[in-house]
Amino acid sequence: MTLAPRRGLFILLEGCDRTGKTTQVALLKEALSKLEHPVTSKRFPDRSTTVGKAIDGYLSSALNLEDRAIHLLFSANRWEAVQEMKRTLMEGTHIIVDRYSASGIAYSVAKGLPLDWCRDPDRGLLRPDLVLLLDQPISIAANRDGWGEERYERVDFQERVRSCFHDLSTHQDWKLIEAARDIPTVHTDILRHVQEAIQRSSDPGPLSFDLWQ
């Protein structure tokens, strides 16, 4: 009899724009690969799908949409990835994800949409096993190269997004990562949390499709 592989962990990095998530996802993936953990990565929005292309048009301001319409597209973009993510995790591969439902909520709440309304379309999505919130003062992000190129890169808006991430994190077991430190230090911190999660979950149990429920 062949035993099914231990399932992979869904590891999520969240945070405001330019907190270093993309760099940290790449470093984490490289580190886990070196440790011989099967691992892949994914980012939301996934701009490669039909829905993702509409989102990309919106983010680059080529396309205008109602706040609620774009919110639903971001959610649809997560739902369309569920089966692929499930398959990958069940094969025993960890997935490191750059943004997910919390971004969906934080950015829409920052526009003034009600929290409950924003959470509803994502109810029942796959729940992450570990959430790392990369956090730093917005003034640091605003000094990075290329700031302001996309629709949401405005200081007042990002302050509201950050505050919503903080509110969300108080009700969940998220790890707060101080992102204003140098890249290797942040990486070491993230890797420690992830290794602890991997060690803790000798049997991670079934996947939970109960996000926000």
Per CB under 6 A, the segment of 34-42, 96-104, 192-200, 202-210 that binds ligand FDM is 96-104
Residue partners of 117: CB distance under 8 A and separation at least 6: 68
Look at residues 193, 123, 110, 187 and name the one whose alpha carbon lies nearest to residue 154. 110
49 C-beta neighbours (distance < 10 Å), count: 14
- Please report whether residue 19 would count as binding ligand FDM according to CB under 6 A: no
Per CB under 6 A, the segment of 29-37, 98-106, 128-136, 170-178 that binds ligand FDM is 98-106
Pick the binder of ligand FDM from 45, 52, 121, 128 (CB under 6 A).
45
Per CB under 6 A, the segment of 32-40, 100-108, 170-178, 188-196 that binds ligand FDM is 100-108
What CA–CA distance (Å, rounded) separates 159 from 164? 9
In the complex, least distance from residue 10 CB atom to ligand FDM, rounded to whole angstroms: 15
What is the per-residue binding string for ligand FDM in 48-67, x denoting contact by CB under 6 A?
-----------x--------
Pick the binder of ligand FDM from 11, 15, 74, 94 (CB under 6 A).
74
Cβ pair 28, 193 in contact under 8 A: no
Cβ pair 10, 95 in contact under 8 A: yes
Residues β-bridged to residue 95: 10, 40
- Please report whether residue 128 would count as binding ligand FDM according to CB under 6 A: no
In the complex, least distance from residue 132 CB atom to ligand FDM, rounded to whole angstroms: 15
Nearer to ligand FDM (CB atom), residue 7 or residue 74: 74
3-class SS of residue 64: coil
Question: What tokens were used for 91?
Answer: 């094969």
Residues β-bridged to residue 134: 15, 177
Applying CB under 6 A, the residues found at the interface with ligand FDM are: 17, 44-45, 59, 74, 99, 103-104, 107, 150, 152
